[in-house]
């Protein structure tokens, strides 16, 4: 059975290229001058570089997580579903933990980064279960 909701295979390498660029843009203090909002729309001068960086991170993680693999079969479909379930559990466990540990304005940052963690956990768990775990089981039986 074919899954029609997956991105084409070419999106995965594009996501791997876009992700470090977007993370660097978010963590550095670099700002593009053409993304500065005019003062007539906003009382403070705001630069939209951070917003575009977060958008790039989300799009690249989606491209990495939900692109077709070379061999899509029932095993990959099962691993994808299992990884999504584990990542949701871990995401909400981290979210509940941070709810009791972070207060005030910093909590808004926790909410922002919590939207990204479900995709990060999914990519990590999916790739671990798909590529690394079978190698561990082969080396243990030998």
pLDDT tens across 9-38, in order?
Answer: 999 999 999 999 999 998 998 888 777 776
> Can you name the residues that pair with 7 across neighbouring β-strands?
67
| Alpha-carbon separation of residue 136 from 23, 34, 128 (angstroms) | 31, 50, 10
Across 1-5, 17-21, 25-29, 78-82, least confident range: 1-5
Which single residue is written with the structure tokens 């993370």?
A: 23
Q: Which two tokens stand for residue 69?
A: 């693999």
Return the pLDDT at 30: 85
Single pTM value for the model: 0.81
Spatial distance between the Cα atoms of 33 and 84, rounded to a whole number of angstroms: 39
Average pLDDT rounded to a whole number, residues 119-127:
94
What would the 3-class secondary structure string for 106-122 be? HHHHHHHHHHHHHHHHH
């Amino acid at each position: 059975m074919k899954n029609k909701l997956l991105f084409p295979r070419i999106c995965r390498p594009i996501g791997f290229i876009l992700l470090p660029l977007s993370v660097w843009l978010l963590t550095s203090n670099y700002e593009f001058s053409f993304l500065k909002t005019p003062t007539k729309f906003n009382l403070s001068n705001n630069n939209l570089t951070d917003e575009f960086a977060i958008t790039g991170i989300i799009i690249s993680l989606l491209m990495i997580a939900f692109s077709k693999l070379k061999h899509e079969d029932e095993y990959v479909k099962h691993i994808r579903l299992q990884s999504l379930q584990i990542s949701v559990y871990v995401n909400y466990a981290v979210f509940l933990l941070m709810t009791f540990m972070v207060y005030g304005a910093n909590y808004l940052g926790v909410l922002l980064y919590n939207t990204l963690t479900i995709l990060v956990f999914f990519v990590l768990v999916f790739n671990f279960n798909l590529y690394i775990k079978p190698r561990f089981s082969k080396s243990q039986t030998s």
